[in-house]
Structure 1
């Protein structure tokens, strides 16, 4: 696929504008909360500004990485080295932004946990919990759009950047990007293709936001700090996807990251909420089962909706890990098939040579 590009100085201007918007959005968001006391509440006005700034931050970060990878010399060398298509570049960008969001979430969770869980488990609060709920909610809605863009490029060769950069000369991204006019899949087609992750994002970005900001009923933030810390495994998940796009599935880094990902996912996603229920049982002086039974029905449903996809994803990760460490991957099978075919070809050539030699002797 060919992308219309401009001269180098135009690319630098675009990168500078995106970088300025990105850094400015983050700086303004920090400025909105830096002077607050730990137990202050976030007003609707302040929260709305945080959400708007969060949307600007994550969207511009995604575009910044894309432009740097698609329209700079370093990006071109990287694409050529790893034979990356435009869709793969967008997918890597999406995963890098996801890792950044996860880092923010973990920092928030650590701050809130250190403040709230060491005081009153049921009542202590920290403004960071609500502040990042406002800021981070924007990520989940941005990510739906971002994943749709990745889906479009991975299923078609639609030129996402052509209308954004109407420039003079053209440059081929890679040998795998052959321009074809294929109808862009609709957003609803993407929704049918990825229903689990879509429901997860809507639940976290919508209902999860409402619970933290409005529906908690005056309860503290210790529980929500563990929800934020659930993102600890996301950088490993993102790195796994990036390494796969870079064709590094056989590397030691890929395997080591896979083990770290499984450990972090099991600890921070699968075991986190049951552990929070245990803390609640201790704080309420109840047995574990009694504590779970005492939870409101809405809380039980929310925990189930949040926890069940984690079991599903952990199962998929475990199956993938077994294939990597104990079985053979699709690449290994392909190599084995090619080796077998090559061996058969060599054997047939040898038989032909021997047959021709016997014929010569007889003659």
Structure 2
């Protein structure tokens, strides 16, 4: 340092500010420090960006699902029965609690699906750990929901007085009779849940081999319509068919079901066609036949439920006489 020159202060990173009279070794030292700090920052940024790809312990999510859904149902039933302002009967609490749990599951599934589908830019190869994690977490829900729907049917059967004479105890074979009535009434729903557990879950975890997380995320977003379906059933349970809330909810249910369950499948075909450079109508011929068959089997019940929703909407907005609209037996 020459006389009369003031020394420049050090920077916050501990680097010397470059001054015009800088020697060769000082320049090399400066470049070395810059390279080191840039490398550390790049590694840290890469670690943060790849954090969502780290696969957690999937068995843990399955166990959490086995605990979360039955526990939520039990707590809600207890709260609805014991709350001083509600004091619901057992049958009423079971029905409302089952629909609340279904709505919570739908919100979680839709959120997970949105995160996965928006994170995967490549529709085939991109992966997100949440796709497999939430699949593991949601499998116990379908098993629980079969039991919850049976409880609702059981209590409804009791309220209607289908027990013994004068409301006395039931005959020994009446439980099997209630179970048969439940399977007859909710056959399509029980079949749907069984297929989700026994077929769709193994395929999504094993057969995919980490491919197509984008499509799985889109399928999870089909649950967007479920909260509207559940709210509609609750409003019908409390004889609120002719309120503005029920009509608005019915319109939202119709739109969300059409977009997220019916039009979802053409969108998936279009997304693959855009990726492969194919027109929409050419996609079914370009993919394996078993994929088309699986999509058709998944779409078929959605079309049936959508038909029931449309029929209920017609009765709601164009009522015939004084007959109230019947509840739609739609997807939970």
Give the TM-score normalised by structure 1: 0.69
Alpha-carbon contact 1:226-1:273 (below 8 Å) kept: no
In structure 2, the residue matched to 1:181 is 169
Q: Which shows bigger deviation, 265-274 or 88-97?
A: 88-97
Q: Is the 8 A contact 2:157 2:178 kept in 1?
A: no
Number of the residue aligned with 1:360 = none
Q: Distance in 2 between matches of 1:319 and 1:260?
A: 15
Distance 1:303 1:137 in 2: 20
Residue 73 of structure 2 corresponds to residue 69 of structure 1 = no
Q: How does 1:75-86 map to 2 (within 5 A)?
A: 75-76=86-87, 79=88, 85-86=89-90
- Does structure 1 residue 202 correspond to structure 2 residue 194? yes
Q: How far apart, CA to CA, are the structure 1 residues paired with 2:202 and 2:79?
A: 36
Aligned equivalents of 2:303 and 2:110: distance in 1? 21
**261 and 332 in structure 1: CA distance in 2 versus 1, 3 angstrom threshold:** closer
- Greater Rg, structure 1 or structure 2? 2
**Alpha-carbon offset, residue 189 of structure 1:** 4.2
Contact kept in structure 2, 1:157 and 1:180, CA below 8 Å: no
**How far 1:330 sits from its partner (Å)?**
5.6
CA distance in 2, matches of 1:214, 1:259: 38
CA contact (8 A) 2:65 2:141 kept: yes
- 1:87 CA drift (Å): 2.4
Query: Which residue number in structure 2 is paired with residue 241 of structure 1?
Result: 233
Query: Against the structure 1 CA distance between its residues 245 and 36, is the aligned structure 2 distance closer, same or farther, given a 3 Å change threshold?
Result: farther
User: What is the CA distance between 1:208 and its match in structure 2?
Assistant: 1.7
Deviation at 1:288, TM superposition (A): 2.0
Segments of 5+ residues of structure 1 without an aligned counterpart are: 1-34, 80-84, 159-177, 334-363
Residue of structure 1 equivalent to 2:53 = 39
What secondary structure is seen at the aligned counterpart in 1 of 2:124? coil
Q: Displacement, 1:306?
A: 1.1
Taking a change above 3 Å as real, the CA distance of residues 188 and 326 of structure 1, as seen in their structure-2 partners, is closer
- C-alpha change, 1:36 and 1:93, in structure 2 (3 Å) is farther
Runs of 4+ in 1 over 6 A off after TM superposition: none
Q: In the alignment, which residue of structure 2 is the partner of 1:317?
A: 309
Q: Which residue of 2 aligns with 1:295?
A: 287
What is residue 223 of structure 2 aligned with on the other side?
Answer: 231
DSSP 3-state at the match of 1:156: helix
User: How many angstroms does 1:36 deviate by?
Assistant: 8.3
Q: Distance in 2 between matches of 1:179 and 1:106?
A: 44
1:211 aligns with 2:222: no
Higher relative contact order (CA 8 A, sep 6+): 1
Matches within 5 A, 1:1-363: 37-42=51-56, 46-76=57-87, 79=88, 85-116=89-120, 119-157=121-159, 180-182=168-170, 183-184=174-175, 185-328=177-320, 331=323
Displacement after TM superposition at 1:73 (Å) = 2.0
Residue of structure 2 equivalent to 1:15? none
Distance 1:215-1:332 versus aligned 2 partners, 3 A rule:
closer
- Shift in Å, 1:121: 1.5
> 2:142, 2:106 → 1: CA distance?
11
- SS of equivalent to 2:76: helix
CA distance in structure 1 between the aligned counterparts of 2:110 and 2:167, rounded to whole angstroms: 41
Aligned equivalents of 1:100 and 1:329: distance in 2? 36
1:74 counterpart SS class: coil
- Residues 49 and 188 (structure 1 numbering): CA distance in 2 closer, same or farther, change over 3 Å? farther
Give 1:153 shift: 0.7
1:280-327 per-position Cα deviation (integer Å, ceiling 9, x unaligned): 011111222321122223212221121111110010010001001012
| TM-align CA RMSD | 2.3
CA–CA distance in structure 2, aligned partners of residues 332 and 59 of structure 1? 33
User: Are the equivalent residues in 2 in contact too, given 1:36–1:127 (CA < 8 A)?
Assistant: no
2:51 is paired with a residue whose SS is coil
